[in-house]
Amino acid sequence: MDDLLQEFIAETRETLEALSSEVVAWEAAPGDRARLDAIFRFVHTVKGSCGFLDLPRLARLSHAAEDVLADARDGKRMPDTALVDAVLAIVDRIGAIVEGIAANVTLDDSDDEALIAALTRVEEVVATAPAPRVAGTPRTAPRSIRLNVDLLDRMMSGMSDMVLARNELARRLRDDVLDPRVEAALDQLSLTVADMRDTVTRTRMQKVDALFSALPRMVRDTAAELGKAVSLRIEGSDVDLDREMIEMMRDPLVHIIRNAIDHGIETPARRRSLGKAPTGQIRVTARQSGNQILIEIEDDGAGIDVARIAAKAVANDVRSAAEVAGMTPADKLRLVFEPGLSSRDTVSAVSGRGVGMDVVRANIEHVGGRIALDNRPGRGLTITIQVPLTLSIMSTLIVAVADQRFAIARQTIEEIVKVRGDQVRIDPVGDIKVATVRGRRLPMLALAPFLAIGEGEPTTLVIVSTREGDYALGVDDVLDTEEVVVKPAAPAVMGTGLYAGQTLPDSGMPMLLLDGGGLALAAGLRFQQDIIAATEALAPDAANPALLFEDLDGARRAIPLGAIDRVEKASAEAIHRSGGRTRLVVDGATIPLHHGDAAALDRALARGTIEVLRLTDGEAECAYAIGGALEIIQLPADISPAADGPVLGVAVCEGRAIEILDPLAFFLDSDVPDHGEAAPLCLLDGAGAAWMDRFLRPVLEAHGYRCTLRPDGDEAPAVRLVMDEDAVAADRSDAPVLRLCRDREGACEPGSIYRYDRSALIAALAGHARRGGR
């Protein structure tokens, strides 16, 4: 009896999961007699099993539901909302009781009669004519047997061991002269083992409908709770997926769809005001692409408010204002995966778009999948989930690095290229390298030196996709593609973050499975669109490296690469103009932003983002706005000097005259001079001290000086500022005196500086600091 009871529990769970979905579909299409008959048979089967196993409580509930469905079959009742709600309530109670039986827990039955009474209180509507019968296709019951998943796992493990034993036998036999009959038997064994491995793999597969079956009920209930009208369309339910993958995908999928209903789909009134149909649409699609399953969840709601997400990131200290200002719209959209971020000011009881999305992405990536967003503000959002077909068998690429072999999951690989010709090359930039593949620049990681297993330049680049971006992984060779069994590696190996497990290929020699994202994180790769990260000059054999770029006015210019810290995108919000100067917000501070043509800069800013060169001399920093980085070139030795200004000279490169910019010209007006560990102290003295404290102090402090109104006996000021007419008291300080003149045209003492002549004042202070007057 215990075995029969466990079988009943398992079958009832599956039946009830499908039943809720069928009842919701019947509500949408009352004339579908075939579906109504199927629902009736489901409930009748449950009632029959309950009677056989002596479960009177379950029998009473299922019998009541059967009576109502029988009336509906006879045309006495129509599946209105009240009737469907009552039937679903009975289904839920049956499910709760079954779970209680499985856990050996008795549930309170005091309200069972109320649920049954709710069925009889439903308003009866006598049909004027029998409901039209929809012809259904006769179903043939499949031959099936129920197996424990642990047993399937043991079968898969046994098949893996059988493959290794087969390979070992083949190697031993090949050492001697092989009898043709033995060789034929070995080939037959190999074919049988391969076929058995495929068969055992398929035993773990299940229709993705098992993942989708609970969605119609969930959409119906959530929409009703929020006062919205939502229609769900499911496509591709017949796609096969690993049953373990199905279980791990349930929570992420439910969370995404509840978010779509709660914060994506608008209310009917709001949708009408926007010119949309009052009923929102959600479409869930599954399809197979090679060894991957793609699941798309698309809605026609409001989409994600990227600006609000960015503002929340700053308000919650997830990102700084400077970081957000430098983000592209795609970068801001990915902020929804940050913990605790939502596009809503208030979070409902159902969900919060962004709340929990970090967990969704983590769960998907845990099974080797990826998630992507296609945001259409005002028109909806499409979320695409890509997961492996199975967790136990994975399609991999086998690469050679020095004398080692590694596997990489094929779904993370974009393409494979050989390092040869002008289309594919590697440029060393300081202590990092940049790969250029047909004009596309990617950060590069040479695997051999990174793992300390070899030296030399890689001959092959594997373009790997990660959540942060794409990068080039340098290897010695690509050997083969292979379907392999994946198992966890030793904890010490997995703890490095570089590997996703170990594989058991047909060669019989275990290999480590590389984690593309973990490698990029451990190597500290920086992902930015069209970035050239440079901290030093190029390699010693590159005499005069420079970055060739297109300026805002369309002209091609170059600048020595040694002065470039990086090339990056900046948003229009990060550009600030004040006092005739243009500045760039960077890391919570501002630096001067130089540019060639002001009108061209305005046109570029109107597009939302511009590209900037971040320049540094090791102490000060500034930036230069450009149209786009083009190439790393070598400057010729012959450069025609320019008269003055920011142009160092003109050089001929590939038959074209190129202006070479002088980075030193951009540092002439750097904001803060280098004062060492202690900034010079300025004493604001005399009758004009109050004015200087109010107007001069911000200017002086912005240039790296400290100001005081009272001399400190422990520290002598570097300079003493007084107005021109003030008498100088010798007992106040022995510091040199710098006099300020009130009137530009009036009579001033020799050596005095007009009080509003900022550049002259800063130059005079710098002179005192250099003479050691502190």
C-alpha span between 314 and 324 (Å, rounded) = 7
Which tokens sit at 739? 């006099």
**Using the 8-state DSSP alphabet, how is residue 721 labeled?**
E
Helix/strand/coil for 505: coil
| Residue 550 DSSP SS3 | strand
375 sits in which H/E element: strand 370-376
Q: What confidence score (pLDDT) does residue 434 get?
A: 81
C-alpha 60, offset from chain centre: 51
Closest-CA residue to 626 (of 611, 608, 609, 616) = 611
Q: Among 221, 210, 222, which Cα is nearest to 260's?
A: 222
How many residues in total does the chain contain?
774
Tell me whether strands 432-437 and 413-418 are parallel, antiparallel or unpaired.
unpaired
CB atoms within 10 A of CB 4: 11
| pTM exceeds 0.75 for this model | no
Whole-number Å distance between alpha carbons of 358 and 80: 39
* Token reading at 607: 């597009």
User: Which run of H or E residues covers position 71?
Assistant: helix 56-73
Can you tell me the distance from the alpha carbon of 8 to that of 714, in angstroms, rounded to the nearest whole number? Answer: 89
Which pLDDT score is estimated for 152? Answer: 75
Note the pLDDT of residue 140.
Answer: 39
* Positions in the chain whose pLDDT score sits under 50: 1, 123-142, 347, 349, 351-355, 430, 529-542, 671-672, 674, 676, 773-774
CB crowding 378-389: b at 16 or more within 10 Å, else e: eebbbbebbbbb
Measured CA to CA, the distance from residue 404 to residue 515 in angstroms comes to 16
Which stretch of DSSP H or E encloses residue 366?
helix 357-366
Distance CA 447, CA 454 (A): 9
Tokens 């069925």, residue located: 119
Q: Are strands 413-418 and 511-514 parallel, antiparallel or unpaired?
A: unpaired
**DSSP assigned state of 469:** -
Question: What is the pLDDT, as a whole number, of residue 395?
Answer: 72
CA–CA distance, 615 with 613 (Å, rounded to integer): 6
At 730 the pLDDT is 57
**Burial, 562: exposed, middle or buried (Cβ in 10 Å; 0-12, 13-18, 19+)?**
middle
pLDDT in tens, 622-670: 889 988 877 777 777 677 776 556 787 888 877 788 888 877 777 765 5
Q: Any residues with CB less than 8 A from the CB of 389 and at least 6 apart, and which? A: 240, 241, 242, 245, 288, 291, 292, 293
pLDDT in tens, 415-434: 888 887 667 888 765 456 78
What lies within 8 Å, CB to CB, of 543 at 6+ separation is 634, 637
CA angle, residues 246, 248, 253, in degrees to nearest 5:
80
Element (H, E) at 199: helix 180-203
Tokens of residue 385, six digits = 């989930």
Structure tokens at 554: 């369309």
- Write the DSSP assignment of 734-772 as a string of letters: -SPEEEEES-SSS---TT-EETT-HHHHHHHHHHHHHTT
Residue reference for tokens 């690993």:
242
Instruction: Please state, in angstroms and rounded to a whole number, the distance separating the CA atoms of residues 313 and 42.
Output: 50
Which residue from 376, 383, 348, 60 is spatially nearest to 225, judged by alpha carbons? 348
**Quick check: 756 and 688 in contact, CB under 8 A?**
no
What per-residue confidence (pLDDT) applies to 145?
Answer: 63
